Amino acid sequence: MKRAFCVIAGACSLLGWAPADEAGMKNALADWQMRQSDWESAFKTAESDGKREELMKSRPDAVPVARELWRQVGRDLQKPETQKPYLLPAVIWFLDHPAAVAQAFPNGETARKIVVLCLDALENTLFREKGAGKAAYALSSSRELRCRVILEQIKDYSQFPEDQGLAALGLAMVMKETTGMLQDDVRLVAARGKLLKDAIIKCYDSSFGPVPVRNLVQEELYEIRNLNIGQTGPGISLPSSATGAQVTLPTGDKPVLVVFWDPRDARSVQFLGKAASLRGEFPGLMVMPVAPGSSENVKKALLNLNLDIPSLVDEKAAAFKDYRVRLTPQVYLLDPKGKILMRGTPDMLFDANLYAAMGKLEGKKNGKAEEKKAAAAPPAARPAPLPAKINSPETRVPAAPQPAAAPAAPLAPPPLRPMPE
């Protein structure tokens, strides 16, 4: 039986068929894709939330797939001289499913080894292969410099436009700051815009992981054009928790610090107290919180916090969607005309950024006031007209001889301070 199997395997290799390892890998991936596709179709067409909850419990398990793939390709993946192009789909699958790899090999060493081997294979040989751009989604989720280098390799050296575009989109996502006080450097925004344009041209109809490229690009362009520092933010018109009257932001006469908070989030509740105290420190600043949920819940939360500051109630989360607020607290500083001066999640840089932005705003106001005063002042006397010929023999005034200046004495160094005892 063993001899017959060897004869069949030899015949397959002579006929040019795929080796056993490659065939096993393809079968494992095809089975996974079929089960995943069937589950996603059933989830999308589920008739009720209860059915969806039931389907979530029967979601396809990726752990056995990770073990089977490693059994099929692990030998070739560990030998740099045998890292063949057929390994690319398995490499991408491993990088896209890090949790399954970690669960399949709980000791940790094997899981880390698999990830390192996949990155080695991409960086050394596979970045030129067709389909390498599909690894961009997993690479862009990491902040390691090595992942960015691999993305740049795919973008610069791949011969396939789709892979180039996916790598460019991955680089644009890596360059996106998602936490802290965002500064939106002009050069960074320009570089990201160029990468997004490259993705639109080369892979607009492709998918970036589970997300269509067209959807992701549209979302990124919306943020660049509407939510970056220097852009005019979307208008806000919501009822106040204090009076129920509709409040429109910006007001047109004061800068406003819009604080997106949630009564259920302890961190945003804590920051709201600090935001309320800013009204005394910056009398010309309007602090306006915006909270999701019902008016009763927001009123109750403010009463429990003992804060004398009203909040706008965003029952349908319209402002949260317009400003792409995914986590609270989130702040946006708008000038009187609605131009964004500062944005981000309050962190250690919040105070410094707020002082800098308000300082610039106050400086502009003072400069405009001085210009108005200067315009209202009477015009100064006109200076005497200059002669037609400057420094000509007719107009030249002989300069009085000046005595030679004495050489300046060299400055003595300051005395040394005594060492403290």
DSSP state for residue 240 in the 8-state scheme: B
Last residue of a domain, one of 174, 196, 227: 227
- The pLDDT, as a whole number, for residue 291 is 93
323 in any annotated domain = yes
Indicate whether 253 and 216 sit together in one domain.
no
Nearest 5°: the CA angle 198, 192, 162 is 25
Q: Which helix (H) or strand (E) holds 238?
A: strand 236-239
Q: Are 181 and 253 in the same domain?
A: no
Task: Note whether 320 and 195 are same-domain residues.
Answer: no
309 shares a domain with 338: yes
pLDDT at 4: 46
Domain with residue 282: its CATH number is: 3.40.30.10
Which stretches of 204-348 are DSSP H helices?
213-226, 266-281, 295-305, 318-322
Task: Tell me, yes or no, whether 338 lies in a domain.
Answer: yes
**CA distances from residue 316 to 235, 238, 261, 352 in whole angstroms, order as listed:** 15, 10, 14, 33
Is 382 inside a domain boundary?
A: no
pTM, entire model: 0.74
| pLDDT tens-place string over residues 314-370 | 999 999 999 999 888 999 999 999 999 989 888 888 888 888 888 888 776 655 555
**Domain assignment present for 41:** yes
> Averaged over 126-144, what is the pLDDT?
93
The structural domain count of the chain equals 2
Q: Is residue 388 part of a domain?
A: no
Of the candidates 312, 332, 363, which is a domain's last residue? 363
> What was the pLDDT predicted at 366?
57
Could you tell me if 268 and 212 lie in one domain? no
How large a percentage of the chain has pLDDT more than 90?
A: 44
One domain for residues 170 and 250: no
Q: Is residue 415 in a domain? A: no
Claim to verify: residue 216 and residue 252 sit in the same structural domain = no
Q: Is the pLDDT of residue 76 over 80?
A: yes
Residue 392: CB atoms within 10 A of its CB come to 9
Range of the domain at 187: 20-227
Same domain, 52 and 197: yes
Residue 20 has a pLDDT of 65
pLDDT at 65: 93
**202 and 251 share one domain:** no
- Whether 377 is covered by a domain: the verdict is no
What are 183's strand-pairing partners?
none
